[in-house]
Chain A
Amino acid sequence: MALRPSWKDRFGPYLLSLFILGLFLLVWEGATRPPRFDAKGKTEDQLTTMEFNGDIVKDAAGHYLWNPDKVKGIPGPMKVFEKARTELGEAFVKKGTNDHGIGLLVGYTIKRFMAGFLAGSVVAILLGVLIGLSKPLFLALNPFIQVLKPISPLAWMPLLLYSVKDPFWTAILVVFMASLWPTVANTAFGVNSIRKDYLHVAALLEMSYLRRLFTVVLPAAAPAIIAGLRISFGSALVAVVPAEMLLGELGAGYLTWIEWNNLDISGVIFAILVVGFVGYALDFAFGKLAALFTYTEV
Chain B
Amino acid sequence: MSFLKVDHVSKLYPVLDDKAKRGESFVVFRDVTFEIRQGEFLTMIGHSGCGKSTLLNIIAGFDQSSTGGVILEGREITKPGLDRMVVFQSFALMPWLTAFDNVRVAVRQAHPDWPPEQIRDWTQKYIDMMNLHGAEQKRPAFLSGGMRQRVGLARAFAVEPKVLLLDEPFAQIDALTRGGIQEELVRMWNATRNTVFMVTHDVDEAILLSDRIALMTNGPEAELAEIIEVTVPRPRTRAELIDSPDYVRIRNHILHFLVKGAKKSKHTGKDAPAAPAIESKPELQPTT
Contact = CB atoms under 8 A, between A and B. Distances in A.
Contacts of B88: 197, 200
B105 A298 contact: no
Given A206-B81, A206-B109, A296-B141, A201 B94 contact: yes
A297 B95 contact: yes
Interface string A96-120: 0000000000000000000000000
A203 B82 contact: no
Contacts of A203: 61-62, 79-80
A231 B110 CA distance: 40
B106 A295 contact: no
A297 B94 CA distance: 9
Interface in A187-230: 195, 197-198, 200-201, 203-207, 211, 215-216, 219-220, 222
Interface string B249-266: 000000000000000000
Contacts of B84: 204
A123 B159 CA distance: 37
B182 interface: no
Nearest to B152: A201
Interface in A211-263: 211, 215-216, 219-220, 222
Contacts of B159: 205
A204 B80 contact: yes
A295 B96 contact: yes
Given A198-B94, A203-B62, A203-B79, A295 B139 contact: yes
Interface string B132-166: 00000001111000001000000000010000000
B86 interface: yes
A205 B148 contact: no
B148 A204 contact: no
Contact-residue size bin, chain B (C-beta under 8 Å from the other chain): 20 to 34
Given A200-B62, A297-B141, A205 B96 contact: no
B92 interface: yes
A204 B81 contact: yes
B95 A296 contact: yes
A33 to B, nearest CB: 58
A206 B92 contact: no
Contacts of B141: 295-298
A298 B80 contact: no
A224 to B, nearest CB: 13
B60 A204 contact: yes
A295 B97 CA distance: 9
B81 A222 contact: no
B92 A197 contact: yes
Interface in B50-88: 60-62, 79-82, 84-86, 88
A197 B86 CA distance: 10
A101 B85 CA distance: 64
A200 B86 contact: yes
B180 to A, nearest CB: 20
Given A203-B79, A204-B60, A298 B91 contact: yes
A222 B96 contact: yes
Nearest to A203: B80
A204 B95 contact: no
Contacts of B79: 203
B90 interface: yes
A194 to B, nearest CB: 11
A200 B80 contact: yes
B139 A205 contact: no
A296 B82 CA distance: 28
A153 B88 CA distance: 46
Contacts of A297: 95, 141
B106 A205 contact: yes
B105 A205 contact: yes
Contacts of A195: 92
Given A198-B94, A203-B79, A204-B81, A298 B140 contact: yes
Contacts of A206: 80-82, 109
Contacts of A205: 82, 105-106, 109-110, 159
6 closest pairs, A vs B, by CB? A296-B141, A197-B92, A205-B109, A203-B80, A295-B96, A219-B96
19 contacts: A197-B88, A197-B92, A200-B62, A200-B80, A203-B61, A203-B79, A203-B80, A205-B82, A205-B105, A205-B106, A215-B105, A219-B94, A220-B94, A220-B96, A295-B95, A295-B139, A295-B141, A297-B141, A298-B148
Interface of B: 60-62, 79-82, 84-86, 88, 90-97, 105-106, 109-110, 139-142, 148, 159
Given A197-B90, A295-B139, 8 more contacts: A197-B88, A200-B60, A205-B106, A206-B82, A207-B109, A219-B97, A296-B95, A298-B141
